Amino acid sequence: MVEANAVYVIVMREFKKFIRERSRLFSTIARPLLWLFLVGGGMSRLVPRGDSVSYMQFIFPGILGMTILFSSIFSSISIIWDKEFGFMKEILVAPVSRFSVVIGKAISGMILSTTQAAIVLVLFPFLGLKLGIFQIIQIIIFCAVLSFAIAAFGILLATFYESYESFSVIMNFIVMPMFFLSGAMYPVKLLPDILKIFAKINPLTYGIDALKNVIFPFETGNMSPDFPLLTDVSVIIVSAIIFVLIAGKFFERKG
């Protein structure tokens, strides 16, 4: 059971807090720009062009994915802050289902991340990419679904941690590996077999691959998408549902 009022107010709270913390918006936009222009700009001198895309263009879907990854995880991890500072108790004693809380938090993550990804997306003409309105709409939709899935994954992580000391653990041992093994900076097909396994169980891989399918559908060779679009979309949707269900279940625990 999901209570609309509860979901609404949880989303509004995150939104208000986000708007008040302008530095957070700035840093979540700055990180992808650094990677895109400093890492991408440097690497593109080293990496030969594919038949239709440059390295900078190749990593653009990955940079969108990165924006979503960091922003969604950060949004969900706020649950740990809420636990630490006591606010979570206010939510837990309220007559709303744990499921509503999870959905509310996941939607918050989705809206905030998709907005930030959309801001980064505006850069596409500077990279020499040509996108039609239909492609842009598709990108936004896939970004939204991916954000929701990653936010739900973040909530699941947050249910296991009680204090914010764990934040750096999550960042270094979960978030960064997820980013590097997602096909964002290099194609999954070029990874060694052992790393390929990790890439293939990483939901972010499929989100970024979906964006590759939309942004450069006709690319062949090394920089081409790794999976069919239908596979990408199905995997993200299914993982979003699974993460929400499991997170809801873990939230329900009583001591």
Which residue ranges make up the site for another protein (CB under 8 A)?
3, 5-6, 8-9, 13, 16-17, 20-21, 81, 85-96, 164, 167, 254-255
- The residue among 71 and 202 lying less far from another protein, judged by its C-beta, is 71
Q: How far is the CB of 253 from another protein (least distance, A)?
A: 10
Surface-to-core class of residue 153, CB atoms within 10 Å of its CB (0-12 exposed, 13-18 middle, 19+ buried): buried
- Nearest distance from residue 27's CB to another protein, in Å? 12
- What's the min distance (Å) between Cβ of 255 and another protein? 5
142-183-243-27 Cα dihedral, nearest 10 degrees: -80
Give Cα 44 to chain centroid, integer Å: 24
Closer to another protein by Cβ: residue 80 or 185: 80
Residue 126: which residues within 8 A CB-CB, separation 6 or more?
A: none
Q: Which is nearer to another protein, 86 or 132 (CB)?
A: 86
Structure tokens at 240: 């979003």
CB nearer to another protein: pick between 10 and 121: 10
CB of 248 to another protein, least distance (A): 15
Query: What gap in Å lies between CA 171 and CA 182, rounded to an integer?
Result: 15
Report the nearest approach of another protein to the CB of residue 6 (Å): 6
Cβ nearer to another protein, comparing 48 with 255? 255
The nearest distance, CB 12 to another protein, in angstroms, is 8
Residue 46 or 93 with smaller CB distance to another protein: 93
- Cβ-based nearer residue to another protein, 48 or 86: 86
How near is the Cβ of 50 to another protein at its closest, in Å? 40
